[in-house]
Amino acid sequence: MKEQYNPLFESFTFKSGVHVKNKIVMAPMTNFSSREDGSVSDDEVRYYERRSNGVGMVITACIYVSPNGKGFPGQFAGDRDEMIPSMKRLAASIKDKGAKAVLQIYHGGRECPVALVPGGDVVSASAVASEQNGGVVPRELAETEIEAIVGDFGAATRRAIEAGFDGVEIHGANGYLLQQFFSEQSNKRNDRFGGDIDRRLAFPLAIVDEVKRVVGEHAKEPFLVGYRFLPEEATTPGITMEHTFRLVDELAAKELDYLHISLMEADSLPRRGAEPTKSRLAWIQDRVGHLVPIIGVGSIRTPEEALRTLDVVPFVAIGRELIMEPEWVEKVQSGREEQIRTKLSRNGQEDLVVPTPLWEVIVRPTNWFPIGD
């Protein structure tokens, strides 16, 4: 391995005591490939096994914690104890290859398709339609229902512990329910869960508290808790960097193991709420990086790009590139970085071990992946 890449392979021990062998994380990516009952399929297991050899930590695709939180066809479930054997199989498939297994937990809120929700009862912080979900107007959750969903996140965390995962990542990004409560675009409530920023933060922070409570009660070994968030929304009103600074201040005070920033481009600049003099990653690192480790992500394909991100934050997450090149880490570590594939071959599904539902999404003409011959 070239000496310049050594920083990527430094080990690290999180506040919880979970130890990772390097600074490279497999980013969470939906794969649409679970069984109808929400259990993990054989194809999913093979997909994760193929990509867990080199990275220090794998963050899985998100599981829904409540029956009305399912946001994708082929999404795996964590909303009932019957799913624990399936979850255990997924955790083992990752850990047996040497990576730490982190389960991403979430509720889709207003982004859930009507057909996937019991009774078509799509819910959110307020009755504000989502442009991404066919204009579906969700039903505003009652306070008792909000409290029940907080409990669902805790129950899913207990299941993750019993299934042998090394941690959970609370999904507060990408327009899903936690973000819906935090954003003034989607939260029009005027009770203890909505109004000013303090009350819009109440639901996400209650989930953090409940997850940490469950970990303290049930985990017999080190078990980490992370939180993923989107730093800005394009809408006005919507989340700005100024709002996000308040969010990360609160999260850092919760003594989480890490914060994971959801970005399409790791070096993207702020639009509102902070000067575009440095990247969003740099702003957040400077704000709370001395209190909690930050994971950066966003279109990182080459080891040079990974190093540039690591110059800003202590961890780098790689997503699409690990689909195109499952041996990315091994090739860097063995000095074969020039062999890293940065384009997807249309004939590569079998070699790359990508489940068919995910493959069909990847090869659509959407520019999501660079595709070669």
Residues 136-168 pLDDT 10s = 999 999 999 999 999 999 999 999 999 999 999
Pairing verdict, β 294-296 and 315-318: parallel
Residue 99 predicted with pLDDT over 80: yes
pLDDT digits (tens, 9 = 90+) for 163-182: 999 999 999 999 999 999 99
What pLDDT is stored for residue 108 in this prediction?
A: 98
102 falls within a domain: yes
Q: pLDDT-derived band of residue 51, with 50, 70 and 90 as boundaries?
A: very high
Residue 368 predicted with pLDDT over 90: no
358 falls within a domain: no
SS3 of residue 57 by DSSP? strand
Centroid of chain to Cα 141: 24
351 falls within a domain: no
360 falls within a domain: no
SS3 of residue 308 by DSSP? helix
Q: Which of 64, 176, 227, 258 is catalytic?
A: 176
H helix or E strand, kind and range, residue 332: helix 328-333
DSSP secondary structure letter of residue 120: G
pLDDT digits (tens, 9 = 90+) for 305-325: 999 999 999 999 999 999 999
Tell me which residue range forms the domain holding 17.
3-341
Query: Which ranges constitute the DSSP H helices of 118-186?
Result: 143-162, 177-182
Q: pLDDT-derived band of residue 373, with 50, 70 and 90 as boundaries?
A: low
Q: How many domains does the chain have?
A: 1
Q: Give the CATH number, domain containing residue 66.
A: 3.20.20.70
What pLDDT is stored for residue 19 in this prediction?
A: 98
Mean pLDDT of 239-259: 98
pTM for the model stands at 0.98
pLDDT digits (tens, 9 = 90+) for 329-349: 999 999 999 999 989 998 999
Known catalytic residue at 47 = no
Query: Which ranges constitute the DSSP H helices of 173-302?
Result: 177-182, 197-200, 202-218, 241-253, 280-288
pLDDT digits (tens, 9 = 90+) for 221-240: 999 999 999 999 999 999 99
CB 207 within 8 A of CB 150: yes
As beta bridge partners, residue 169 has 104, 226
273 falls within a domain: yes
347 falls within a domain: no
